[in-house]
Amino acid sequence: MSTETPTTRTDRDERGALARLKNSPFLSELLSNRLALIGIGIILGMVIIALYARLFYDLNALTSSRLGGFPDRTAPGWAGGPASLTEMYFGTDALARDIFRRTMYGAWIALKFGTITVAASTTLGVGLGIIAAYYGDVTDNVIMRTMDVVLAFPSLLLALALVAIFGAGLWKAVIALTLVYTPRFARVVRGAALKVLEDEYIDATAALGATDPRILVRHILPNTLAPITVQSTLNFGLAIIDIAALSFLGFGAQAGTPSWGLMLANGVENGLQTGKWWMSFFPGLFLALTVLGFNLLGDGMRDALDPRMQDTLD
């Protein structure tokens, strides 16, 4: 009779999971990729900045003008500005607001709405892709031809058209980009699911009486997680830059919101053309670093996973 307790069994399972994680070829390959490690470092840094800004900065104060009576469009102290602006590391904008704090809070806005966009488009795309691959025939043709029509339009132009229909705003931009990104996930997942359906255990599972939802969720979906993860990581950077682009054009974040895209637009209009380079430089720098981090991580994950997956993604 076994004397193993539930606690002992749980500890053993946890140790086994940790051992499998440490011995994972994917993890070892990913951690040996220097560019992927740089990407992870950049992303972690941006997450820390975003959480700090969300917890300790007041959004209402960041959208107000003339804070503390400081002059507008003034360079920071280290760049030749007044000594009184030493604590404002990035200077002030056209409304005398602290660019440093607004840029920091912009990381929270970018990661928040980028996460929502990628999560929603991944869910829709994965569901449509798996259903199209599993049922085939008319279902596959209807779903994938619809996806092809959406993919026929340039993504940003289609997002602009949808935002023009829905109206301006960050949440409207998220809805538009979700519809734009969904076909990419659907195509990737469909290709991966078709390979899984070629395996004999799928037929054996169906012969044993498993229902379609069980086959889809328990057997097909777990075997398509690799391309889903990579595609989501790559699309994360794309979502952030597209949200910034829509805000830059006036269709995303509205006036006063500390969004990187809107700060870039205000900086170009009120500062860059008159030599006030700091108004647009720092939001643009943070945006570029964030997108670079996700792209480096996505490329590293693609290289670390099964080479056959690269054919699916490409």
- CATH number, residue 209: 1.10.3720.10
- 8 part of a folded domain: no
Q: Which domain holds residue 200?
A: 26-58+100-313
pLDDT in tens, 267-290: 887 776 677 888 888 999 999 999
Q: Is residue 304 part of a domain?
A: yes
Is the residue at 66 inside a domain? Answer: no
Tokens of 225: 């997680």
* Distance of alpha carbon 293 from alpha carbon 197, whole angstroms: 34
Is there a domain that residue 1 lies in? Answer: no
Six token digits for residue 233: 């990581």
- Tell me how far apart the alpha carbons of residues 230 and 236 are, in angstroms, rounded to a whole number: 10
The total number of structural domains that make up the chain:
1
Distances (CA, A) of 203 to 46, 197, 228: 46, 8, 24
Q: Which residues pair with 98 in a beta bridge?
A: 92
Secondary structure of residue 95 in the 3-state scheme: coil
d(CA 151, CA 147): 6
What tens-digit pLDDT sequence spans the chain (314 residues)?
445 555 554 454 444 444 555 566 767 777 788 888 999 999 999 999 999 999 998 888 778 765 555 677 777 766 665 655 556 778 788 787 888 889 999 999 999 999 999 999 999 999 999 999 988 889 989 999 999 999 888 888 888 888 888 888 899 999 999 999 999 999 999 988 888 888 777 778 777 777 878 888 888 888 888 888 888 988 999 999 999 999 998 888 888 889 999 999 888 877 766 778 888 889 999 999 999 999 999 888 888 775 544 444 44
Residue 70 is assigned to a structural domain of this protein? no
Whole-model pTM above 0.85?
A: no
Alpha-carbon distance 150 to 172, whole Å? Answer: 18
Q: Which residues make beta-bridge pairs with 33?
A: none
Q: Is residue 38 part of a domain?
A: yes
